[in-house]
Chain A
Amino acid sequence: MGGSTVADALRCLIGSDADVVQARQMGRELASQLGFSPGDQTVIAAAISEIARNILMYAKRGEVQFTKISDGTRPGLIVVAEDRGPGISDVPRALQDGYSTSGGLGLGLPGARRLMDDFEVVSAVGEGTRVTMKKWKRVNG
């Protein structure tokens, strides 16, 4: 098989703050199975916690999907957080440190972005938001 291989996605519905804990624990477990270091497992769990909380805060419900991937030499994890909430009108601004419309610390999205290798936000006002983030296992760690 060439290119990247994609296994079945796992999903976690988000509708309560217990689901946020569940989502980050699922992410940590998968990262552990893929051989990520304990440090990176925690980094992934923290990023999931931030984006899953955003679903809860802004959209009330949504889901987080996890997909194990490989680029042929190293494994990775894709996390997609999707909701049909109000959407983000100004994505670049939402990615700035300290910007928050919820009274939070404004570290959710920018913080999660710093934690992951790839980070993409697609959002349409009135339709919802999809955050896709990726982390590769480090070769020496």
Chain B
Amino acid sequence: MEVPILKQGHYLIASIQSALSDADLSQLREKLIERVGKFRARGVIVDVTALDVMDSFAVRTLRDIAHMARLRGSETVIVGIQPEVAFAMVQLGLTLKGVATALDLEEGLEFLNQQGQGHGRLDRG
């Protein structure tokens, strides 16, 4: 199941549409990291609203995406973690330490815009 990646301004938005296998998640990671460079993206939003489960592999892959994107100069925010998914993650002992999260797409965009005002001031003149 391929995850569509949209470009919106300086940001990339990956909107997960359904349950993903481990291979789907790995593919999403490769594609996002490649596109951060291709589109010179300053921010990445991964919308996980439709993700059925956030298990250890999903959490590790999202963490990798955020850390790899940061190394490429792009900030990542994970949005749309559902209450029951959060509940299961906490019980599993999974954290997204060091990765920004926001309630939904709107809040995620707001977060990235604020981040941009901090370090992006110079090149925006």
Q: Tell me which residues from 64 to 122 in chain B have a Cβ below 8 Å from any Cβ of chain A.
A: 82-85, 87-89, 91-94
- Report, nearest first, the 5 A-B pairs whose CB atoms are least far apart: A111-B92, A17-B21, A42-B84, A49-B55, A39-B84
Q: Is A1 close to B, CB under 8 A?
A: no
- B53 CB to nearest A CB, Å: 5
A-B contact count (CB 8 A): 77
B32: shortest Cβ distance to chain A, in Å? 19
In the complex, what's the smallest C-beta–C-beta distance from A10 to chain B, in angstroms?
A: 18
Chain A 23-53, CB-CB to B under 8 Å as 1, else 0, gives: 0110010000000011101110110011001
> Measured between alpha carbons, how far is A28 from B89 in the docked complex, in Å?
16
Given contact pairs A17-B22, A21-B19, A43-B91, a sample of 6 additional A-B residue pairs in the complex whose CB atoms are under 8 Å apart: A17-B21, A21-B21, A25-B52, A42-B84, A53-B57, A112-B92
Which residues on A sit within 8 Å (CB–CB) of B85?
Answer: 42
Q: Which residues of B contact A (CB under 8 A)?
A: 19-23, 52-57, 59-60, 82-85, 87-89, 91-94
The A interface, classified by DSSP as helix, strand, loop or mixed, is: helix
Q: Give the distance to chain B from A134, nearest Cβ to Cβ, in Å.
A: 16
Residues of A contacting B82 in the complex (Cβ-Cβ under 8 angstroms): 42
Q: How many residues of A contact B (CB 8 A)?
A: 28
Asked if A104 is at the interface of the complex by the 8 Å CB criterion, the answer is: yes
- Tell me whether B94 and A107 are in contact (CB under 8 A): yes
Residue of B nearest to A52 (CB): B55
Closest A residue to B18 by CB, please name it.
Answer: A21
**Residues in B whose Cβ lies below 8 Å from that of A118:** none
- Asked if A97 is at the interface (CB within 8 A of a chain B CB), the reply is yes
Residue in contact with A18 in the complex, picked from B21, B52, B89, CB distance below 8 Å: B21
Contact of A28 among B52, B59, B94 (CB under 8 A): B52
Question: Given A21-B20, A107-B92, is A43 in contact with B87 using a C-beta cutoff of 8 Å?
Answer: yes
Which residues of the partner chain B approach A42 to less than 8 Å between Cβ atoms? 52-53, 82, 84-85, 87-88
